[in-house]
Structure 1
Amino acid sequence: MGMELPNQFSDMEDVNISDYELVSRVKEVLTSVLNGETENYNQLVGVMHRSRNLGEDEVGLLETSLKGLSGAVSFIDIVHHESLLSAIFSMNMWNYGPELMDALVELIVALAISNGKFVDSCLGMLVSNFIPPSYFLDRLKQPRGLERKYQVTSRVHAALEEITKSVPLAPLRLLPIVLQRMPTIHKKDHTMIIYAENMLKLEGSVIGEVVGSTLLMAVVDRLIDLDVEIGWDDILQEDFSKCMFDMELEDMDQDDDYFEEDGHELLLTRKSLAGNAIADLLDSLMVITFNHLESCKDTGRLIEVFETLLQSFQLTVLNTYKSKFAQFVMFYACALDPENCGLRFATVLADIFVDKHHPELHRMSAVAYLSSYLSRGKFLSASFVASILRRLVDWCLEYCKTQDSDVNPKVHRVFYSGCQAIMYMLCFRLKSFMDVPRLKSQLLLMPLEEIFRHKLSPLKVCLPSVVQEFLRQAKAAHLFTISKTFVFDDLLESEFSRAFGGLERLDMFFPFDPCLLKKSDSIIRENFVFWSTVRPKYEYEEGSSDEDDEDDIVDENEEVLVDEIARSVDGQGLDLDEFDYALNKMSITPKDTFSYRFEGHFQEHSRMPSKIRPSTSPESL
């Protein structure tokens, strides 16, 4: 034992030294501390502190020392060898090559298995290697950097699984470590993306069988955190007085910064997010979440994982104030498995809406999500959408039968939310129903007229642009037997619509409006219904396809509206400015479905309807 440490290490680097001799010599160094001899021990600790830019001899010495320690873990004492343990647990695998990584992982696993007192420190050390040191971040953009990332993370996860095999409680001890070390929102780097990738990888491993649901929900929570960080001032540059159906972009990939609509210059909303670091981070996190869901589908785990997502959605997303994009994780999961996940999501939302035991705001939020989802999900069959529509209609009808009061947006807000959901869905889906004889017959038998003629007057309360579009299509489809005058006499915005969902309600709730995050949208759009693909020509009967008939419909509608406005002016003493304002509100849905003359020129509007509305929880509904 009188051999000096440098000589010992020199001997340990000898290729002819046996593993037994190597371990024996390390044990001697460790036990020497108990006798007050610290020189050799201190030099061993010094070797552990060597990290970057190691020479060949230094690499060999460190690798040999790590291997020797792996065989002598039973001699490592948590008190007497505190400095050695501190040095080991602070080592960063990103600084080393594959051979050193393997030697370090072997030591960490051996320590965790040898003594329960080391488990938390070993797990913490491995979790600390989820993300690279700051100097390495820029290298991740290069192939060699990505290769190093794979080398590190694959070994980290293999080590965690190896520890779990011998320490069954390791996942439960790992969970708080992972959650506590989750990076906060960074605007300058994307360490959160790498960390979330590792969390999702854990979710899909044997460790995820124990704590996977909590890890997945934590990732979704972080998506929400980022989502609400993006203020609507960062997105909404348009004139809010415009109809929601006027503002959806047909082509989200336009290069133009501006487009003209009705003579107004509007800033493209996606352009307004360009350079927004939080939006970029959220976009990237959503993409890796999408990728994880796709891998779950490939491994047959999607339905199981979806239940966790659904639980998370109900607890957080459903009632998150101003959630704009995080909800598309649910949308994509449903698109991956329409027959299971897709139908279940809609059914759960419908169940929440019709269940009076849920809080009113919860129900209103659910039906807003439901109508937007059923309108936008290309993967949902017309037959299924019609069945859910029937549930909503039946509920609204039963509600009407129990009420004999007049309009009151505050008292009957759940009912009005249901009516608006019905109209919004029909704006998108009516044509597909009319194209299928069975669904057309079912639709024509629905008591829509009875609901909308009720004393509660939903046409006066719901969002005017939705009412306008719905009535245009309803008239063309002959959904009502009543006169066109009645159909349109409730169209003008009233004090009730302003109180519930009129033009002053800038935060109307259509949560699955087009996604403005570029990378996420590129994944979602193949399963997404854009208004430009379904916008009607206001014709559903055979033989009524010529443009003259379409123009007649518009002209008739406008004539009725002019009469109504004129009567309002005469009866209420409105001044001419108010009259002009009312006239401007007549054609909420643009005439771009028809070619019409304006000052001697044909106007062709290429873009239309629902620009994303601030997707808020309906706290103010």
Structure 2
Amino acid sequence: AVSKIDITYHHLLLNNIFTIRIWYLQRDTLDAFLDLITRLAAVADQYLRECLQMLVNNFTPPLVQRNELPRWAVSRKKDIFFHLCESLKTISDTVPLAPRILRDIIDRSMPKLFDNKAKMVSFVECMLGLDTDRMGDLIGATLLAKVVDLLTELDVNITWEDIIQGEHNKGIFEMELEDLNEDEDGLGQAGTKVLFGGNACAEKLDSLMVVVCEHLKSCAERGYLDKEFDILKAIFRASVLRVHRSKFCQFIMFYACSLDPKICGLEFAFFLTEIFLNKEEDPISRMSAVSYVGSYLSRARFISADTVLAILKKIVDWCDEYCVLQNRGTTANPNHQIFYGACQAVMYVLCFRLRSIMDYPNLKAQLFQLSFGFILNHRLEPLKVCLPSIVNEFLRQAKDAGLFAASMYSAAEDAIESDLSRAFGGINRLDTFFPFDPYLLKESDRIYPSKFRVLVHGQDDIQQ
């Protein structure tokens, strides 16, 4: 009977098959149809690409309204995604060429910046469902890289002016200090914690961050987090580290680390530190890495005080060596900006972690052996270049702890006092980039509170 079908009708029939929206099919019909698709895909040199494209097209359900899924689609979404992923895995097991073609199809089908939120979320949610077992080994790195690229593109299209209106000339740290001055009981986070909404890119990013974090949590529960983290770390190194002042996408690393603090959490901290210490790395990567590690150690509640001190020692020792080489005039390629960035990172960390380090006598003894006085009083004058808000808070806490000789504080305070009269504070004021500043997206904000540290005067606290 099939041989009797006219060639034109045959092509029309195939076209109808490859454009079907499986979301409208009843369960029995759906099973039979997907079985047909997996069989067609296995026909040699015929319909593999068309079958894969049809399945990928169904990553997004019919959008009845502009930015929302119909209720019936929401109720079927999990089941549909499961069947799509199972069909793609079956085809990949049957046809060795399928994963390579699927990577290309997903690449071409990825949501674009101005696509609506519902389409983006559905596509990414279904796509990440493929990142399991053997399928994940074949295309997992590509899938995650595409997702991170999308997160980054959305992120860079959000400005701080959109987020904190009227406060965009200040850093989050400065606003935290203002909150503390206004509310000394340590609960005054309302001024800083103005959650961000109303911007289309931010709302899309917010929802996607939930999807990605839920995927990472699922990986941890299934014992796959170590593999996923290795892939994420490489993607972060290639695609996120050097992005100028990204605001939110880097928090997927923070969340992944929080799921396994003893392995992923430590690995990320030392990974960033090694990038900073590596003289073969470019200056931008080194500056960004030291900003990241400073912010990470400050904010990650799951990183222990002894780990914080171990990394601080590496950074302080590097600063000490840099000062010595400057005194000798033997620095081959001096880069003071990296030095200033390292000093600022050290002071920033101690603003958050000094008290917790001081709670342990052995760590306190090690801390007091570090050469803070030599570095901060060096002729390069880091106290004049680093952000005054950080320097002042650091000096206040250091003075209370007796970290330096008394004579140093008056000299340091004189230096800061003179620079505070400048319009922007400091000589060649350093960038106010602290990658893990408080998280300001509404929906995904619920993921981070128990893992995140904020600045308080008195006892250590977590984000409320």
The aligned counterpart of 1:13 is none
Tell me how far apart the structure 1 counterparts of residues 430 and 342 of structure 2 sit (CA, whole Å): 19
Q: Is the 8 A contact 1:375 1:529 kept in 2?
A: yes
107, 122, 130: which is aligned to 2:59?
Answer: 130
Q: Which residue of 2 aligns with 1:589?
A: none
Residue 217 (structure 1) aligned with residue 142 (structure 2): no
Change (3 A) 1:348 1:102: same
Partner of 2:94: 166
Matched, 1:328 2:256: no
Is 1:148 matched with 2:82?
A: no
**TM-score, with normalisation over the residues of structure 2?**
0.90
Instruction: Indicate yes or no: 2:444 matched with 1:520.
Output: yes
Find the aligned partners of 1:159 and 1:245 in 2 and give their Cα distance.
49
Q: Which amino acid aligns with 2:94?
A: S
In structure 2, the residue matched to 1:97 is 26
Equivalent residue of 2:3, what SS? helix
TM-superposition CA deviations, 1:77-122 (whole Å, max 9, x none): xxxx322211111111012111111121111111111223211111
Given that residues 64 and 70 in structure 2 are in contact (C-alpha distance below 8 angstroms), is that contact kept between their aligned partners in structure 1? Answer: no
Query: Which amino acid letter does the alignment assign opposite residue 274 of structure 2?
Result: D
Distance 2:308 2:89 in 1: 44
The structural deviation recorded for 1:316 is 1.3
Distance 1:323 1:246, change over 3 A: closer
Q: In 2 relative to 1, CA 490–122 (structure 1 residues): closer, same or farther, beyond 3 Å?
A: same
Q: How does 1:449-528 map to 2 (within 5 A)?
A: 449-483=373-407, 484-492=409-417, 494=419, 502=426, 507-528=431-452
Note the alpha carbon deviations across 1:535-578, whole angstroms, 9 max, x for none. 348xxxxxxxxxxxxxxxxxxxxxxxxxxxxxxxxxxxxxxxxx
Whether contact under 8 Å (1:113, 1:166) holds in the other structure is yes
TM-superposed deviation, 1:453: 1.4
Distance in 1 of aligned mates of 2:447 and 2:420: 41
Aligned-pair CA distance for 1:514: 0.2
2:4 to 28, 32, 47: 32
For the residue of structure 2 that corresponds to 1:274, the secondary structure is: coil
> Using the alignment, how far apart are the partners of 2:250 and 2:299 within structure 1?
13
CA gap 1:116/1:269 in 2 versus in 1, 3 angstroms: farther
Which residue of the partner structure matches residue 339 of structure 2?
415
Aligned match for 1:87, one of 5, 16, 35: 16
User: Which sections of structure 2, spanning at least 5 residues, go unmatched?
Assistant: 184-188
* Amino acid in the other structure paired with 1:125: M
Cα distance change on mapping 1:227 and 1:212 into 2, 3 Å: same
Aligned partner of 1:255 in structure 2 is none
Which residue pairs with 1:384 in the alignment? Answer: 307
> CA–CA distance in 2 between the matches of 1:188 and 1:139?
9
Do the aligned partners of residues 355 and 520 (structure 1) sit closer, same or farther apart at CA in structure 2, a change above 3 Å counting? Answer: same
Q: Aligned partners of 1:145 and 1:179: how far apart in 2? A: 25
Match of 1:404 among 303, 311, 327: 327
> Is residue 235 of structure 2 the alignment partner of residue 312 of structure 1?
yes
Q: Distance in 2 between matches of 1:272 and 1:141?
A: 28
Amino acid at match of 1:491: I
Q: What residue in structure 1 maps to residue 355 of structure 2?
A: 431
Residues 150/242 of structure 1: CA separation in 2 closer, same or farther (3 Å cut): closer
- Code of the residue aligned with 1:448 in structure 2: it is F
In the alignment, does 2:227 pair up with 1:300? no
Deviation at 1:201, TM superposition (A): 0.7
Which of the numbers 443, 453, 458 marks the counterpart of 1:529?
Answer: 453
Give 1:271 deviation, angstroms: 5.0
Query: Given the superposition, is the C-alpha separation of residues 434 and 286 from structure 1 closer, same or farther in structure 2, using an over 3 Å criterion?
Result: same
Contact 2:41 2:91 in 1 (8 A): yes
Is 1:106 paired with 2:41?
no
Larger radius of gyration: 1
Query: Contact 1:139–1:145 (CA<8 Å) still a contact in 2?
Result: no
Tell me which residue corresponds to 1:374: 297
Residues 473 and 405 of structure 1, relative CA distance in 2, 3 Å threshold: farther
Q: Which amino acid aligns with 1:494?
A: D
Q: Percent identity?
A: 44
The equivalent of 1:579 in structure 2 is none
Distance 1:240 1:182, change over 3 A: closer
The alignment's C-alpha RMSD in Å is 3.1
Counterpart residue number, 1:231: 159
Bigger mean CA offset, 434-443 vs 201-210: 201-210
Q: How far did residue 239 of structure 1 move? A: 4.4
Q: 1:145 to 1:139 in 2, by over 3 A?
A: farther
CA distance in 1, matches of 2:70, 2:413: 59
Does the CA-based 8 Å contact 2:195-2:442 persist in structure 1?
no
Residue 49 of structure 2 corresponds to residue 120 of structure 1: yes
Cα distance change of structure 1 residues 475 and 296 upon mapping to structure 2, 3 Å threshold = same
Cα 1:172/1:433, change in 2 over 3 Å? same
Unmatched tracts of structure 1, length 5 or more: 1-27, 46-80, 252-258, 538-607, 611-621
Kindly state the Cα deviation for residue 380 of structure 1 after the two structures are TM-superposed. Answer: 0.4
* 3-state SS of paired residue (2:130): helix
Contact residue 131 and residue 143 of structure 2 kept, 8 A? yes
Kindly indicate whether the alpha-carbon contact (under 8 Å) linking 1:101 and 1:152 is maintained by their aligned counterparts in 2. no
SS in 2 for 1:492: helix
Tell me how far apart the structure 1 counterparts of residues 429 and 231 of structure 2 sit (CA, whole Å).
33
Distance 1:249 1:97, change over 3 A: farther
Q: Give the distance between the partners of 2:429 and 2:182, measured in 1 at CA.
A: 24
Rounded Cα–Cα distance in structure 2 between residues aligned with 1:297 and 1:201: 14
Q: Structure 2 CA distance, aligned partners of 1:402 and 1:365?
A: 23
Please tell me whether residue 280 in structure 1 is matched to residue 185 in structure 2.
no
1:140 Cα offset (Å): 3.8
Distance 1:304 1:238, change over 3 A: same
